[in-house]
Structure 1
Amino acid sequence: MATKFHLSVILVAVLSTGLAQTKESADKEAGNAETNRFYYFEIPSAINGSNLDPSAISNVSSNFTDSKISFKLGFPSLFKDAPSTKDLKYTGFVQPWFKATNGATTLYKANSAPLEFGVNAGLSIVAGHYYWVFLDGKGNETQEHSSESMWWVNFIGSIDQGNYNLFNTTAKYDEILIKQTETNGSLYVSLNRYFYSQMTRYKWRSCIWSIGAGYAKTKYYSSLKNRTLETGKLTYNADSTAYQTVVETTSGRSGTLVIFEGLSYFGELFIPIVRNKTYGGVYWGNRLTYYGIGSDDYIANGVTGFYFNLKDKKVNGDKPAKDVLNFSVTAQFNQLDKRSEEDYIDKNFSIMLQAAIPLRFN
């Protein structure tokens, strides 16, 4: 029977008059192919940096803004064969990635520190997955879900290495450029919840949130000012009134690379503005992360903005339309712990446009 292999807890309860609440309907839902919808997770984690993703989807994503490419290999079930519904109890993934540290234009320059690369991996355990279904005017159950909720726990780790060009503008001629390599990583455990309802009475509660804590070692590089170092030779004409030069450029950032290490925690909240399984959706998202809690050096970064998820409109039976483009427009606030400083906005505030094209394999 389908219920034997069904790994998520599916219950049918009463939210208000007109909803089903029978054991028979629970069994029917357990074998219903539509219960796989959460397997195709709505938030495009490939672009928003979220720790939410519980899906076992395998894909390749390219993030144009960050000059970043990632390959995600999802495991439908780590402990048992995946049921036909794909509504899984345990899922996992491994996601290697690399990016051009100073932009795609410096990817192949021999004298530039070009690459940042790493791997993310995670395990998700579903604690509860609940459905509520509508009754028709005659009291019979329908196939339409009025509401859905899900609880899950994530264990996510990452390790990465970056090669960075740093410029010290007050140094001697041959000491301006400093090449630095750093290995960073993190390990988090988080509690996550998803809820969505078509009923006006409960629709205001629709959201996805996550809270997590763990250990992290991270760097303060992206917030440094972009700079380019030019190296060349000046050649003057006979009376030294004009010159010509050929230069080699090296991209990097001006300042000191600061490392934050120790206890870290984060909170995330995503609220649906538009949600359509055929065309896609729009979410308003917020994320706040603290690094180095309890140490002399700590940092708090915040992100708020809109995340767009466009689909190909091809609904195939129980399979929803696939993502064809993910992009976001977000405001990023770095070093919120220094927000009282007069020049805080100039140094730490930016508006980012990110885009990614996912190539899904399942």
Structure 2
Amino acid sequence: MNSVSLLLRLKVLLFVVAVASCGKGSGGGDGNNPSPPATNTFTNPLLSSGPDPWIIKSGSNYYYTHTLGNRVALWKTSKVSDLKNANPQTVWSAPANGANSKNVWAPELHFLENKWYVYYTAGSGANNTQRTFVLENASSDPLSGTWTDKGQIGDAAADYFAIDGTVLNYNNKNYFIWSGWASATDNNQRIYIARMSNPWTLETARSLISSPQYAWEMNGAPPAVNEGPEVLKNAAGKVFLIYSASGCWTDDYCLGMLTLKDGGDPLNASDWTKNTTPVFTKNTNGGAFGPGHNSFFKSVDGTEDWILYHANPQSGLQCGDSRSPRIQKFTWNADGTPAFGTPVNINMPITKPSGE
């Protein structure tokens, strides 16, 4: 064999080896094509169902929950946009009977006084039995340890329908905020606040800080609805209360906003100012009907503010499990107020939160 033929054969052999190597994955090769490169986008909704979504960041992880009806479950993830790949873990199940045995709604997870607390709504069956309750866990990770039922939280002198409890920390004091009735027979939903003596006990009587008063708060009335209060603070520490208005059974469920004056007393209604127009409304062309019952979180690297909310993908779906959780980044106006924009279209690629 001459040297030219030998050189040609060597070149052919090297080419075949190279082709065979390129046909295998970098992990040692089962012959499958390599995975496509990671994308920096995601689409809403995060889950197919998730009414009343709530999220909180602790360390490098986010904990998420939503209404499940008969229990409280938590999802743990390091990337909110990847929530669908997290496995929910039930941390509490409703008893068979009793005051908190039915209609478990709107759980929220909070870290107060070095312990975890879940605030949730439940009742004994009829809608007028709905009240707010508290669970406590001393573990550093809410998915471990033991959850203890601390019972009902509320104003004993005004023991009426009470839902959607949340906590405001202001000037080193904690305040409980919820949606409730004025009496046993007045079923318009208003927003109340009381100072807390500990995470499961109120120190003061309730104070009324918001009642439905504008037309955009009264769609579906009666009853007229203010519910789902959520605390938002800007970089300067200014306090906003973002709440859901109108009936969840309408496509016009939306978000309103109260602003606490600088140095104000949260228990004093006159220290809160209500926006005369909603701050977040439906997007009928984008599959976002009745957007509301939100919460907030920072991106992984802390540079971006995001809103988490539920909405229906179609008109007329009311208050059922078709409400799905969505997220989108928001910004701030020059006066320090939040600018939420319009609900982003479902299935439209969105850049992931910074750091993911």
TM over 0.5: no
Given the two structures, how large is their TM-score scaled by the length of structure 1? 0.31
More strand by share: 1
